[in-house]
Amino acid sequence: MKSIIIREIQSFFGSLIGYLVIGVFLISNGVFLWVFEGEYNILNSGFADLSPFFTLAPMVLIFLIPAVTMRSFSDEKKQGTLELLLTKPVSIWQITLGKFLGSMFLICIAIIPTFIYIKVISDLGLPQGNIDMGSTIGSYLGLVLLISSYSAIGIFTSTLSENQIIAFIFSIALCFFLYFGFESLSQIIPNAQNQISSLGMQNHFKSIGRGVIDTRDVIYFISITILFLSFTVYNLKSVQL
């Protein structure tokens, strides 16, 4: 499995994909948070906190993570190397986890430079250093868990077609629905608002972002990740047969 992870990482940074993903993530967040006027601009918000970043980042990642994962198995199918990969002396679960962890590694690398935002916000606070670190740490943990779920969904959709664009679009649609869909449905059906919204990622991400780590939120994201990785393994087994 280690060789698969290294192969994935090398393929990302051996081409423009890795650098583009990191660059697009940092630039898109940077201009909305610090340059463009609007609801996400931290300097105009009057509050020294990172909540605009943690509101914006999940929306940006809905597009970036599918762009990273769309080639995972689609490319193998298109080049006719999937069958060869499945004959290697590693299990299908190891292959899937290798692809998954390679994608996660790249996205997590993109997040690391945003830690500088913590220092900037801390310096902007009145008094200086007045920042809710509990909420910030919780939000970063929630972001990693969200990345895990998005990546698992992207890996799964890449097994559905050899066309990377189809995998990309399907992945965006699934991530978008699981993050925003249940929240929207809960507004339509007010009698079951809490129950429906609790099925969506947004509800659990916001809950972790409050700084109190509830095991139910962690288990939710881990369950989504395992579920879609299991779907991936199932699809690959059908190919192997």
63 contacts: CB under 8 Å, gap ≥ 6: 172
Give me the pLDDT at residue 16, please.
Answer: 81
- CA–CA distance, 202 with 145 (Å, rounded to integer): 12
DSSP 74-134: HHHHHHT-HHHHHTSSS-HHHHHHHHHHHHHHHHHHHHGGGGHHHHHHHHHSSSTT---HH
Per-residue pLDDT tens, the chain, 241 aa: give them.
777 888 888 888 777 888 888 898 999 988 888 888 878 887 777 676 788 899 999 999 999 999 999 988 888 888 877 777 777 788 899 999 999 999 999 899 999 999 998 888 887 766 666 677 888 888 999 999 999 999 999 999 999 988 999 999 999 999 999 999 888 888 887 777 788 888 999 999 989 988 778 899 999 999 999 999 999 999 988 866 5
Give me the pLDDT at residue 96, please.
Answer: 93
CB 5 within 8 A of CB 105: yes
Output b/e per residue, 201-231; b: 16+ Cβ within 10 A: bbbbbbbbbeeeeeeebeebbeebbeebbeb
Give me the pLDDT at residue 240, please.
Answer: 61
Q: pTM of the entire structure?
A: 0.91
Domain ranges of the chain: 2-172+222-240
Burial class (CB in 10 A: 0-12, 13-18, 19+), 121: buried
Token pair recorded at residue 30: 């940077």
Which letter does DSSP use for residue 38 in this model?
A: S
The residue with tokens 């499995």 is: 1
Give me the pLDDT at residue 197, please.
Answer: 86
Whether the CA torsion 225, 228, 231, 233 is positive or negative: it is negative
Give me the pLDDT at residue 170, please.
Answer: 95
Give me the pLDDT at residue 104, please.
Answer: 92
Token pair recorded at residue 235: 């699809």
Among the listed residues 136, 142, 135, the one whose alpha carbon sits nearest the alpha carbon of residue 212: 135
Give me the pLDDT at residue 129, please.
Answer: 62
- CA–CA distance, 158 with 166 (Å, rounded to integer): 8
Give me the pLDDT at residue 130, please.
Answer: 67
Give me the pLDDT at residue 198, please.
Answer: 87
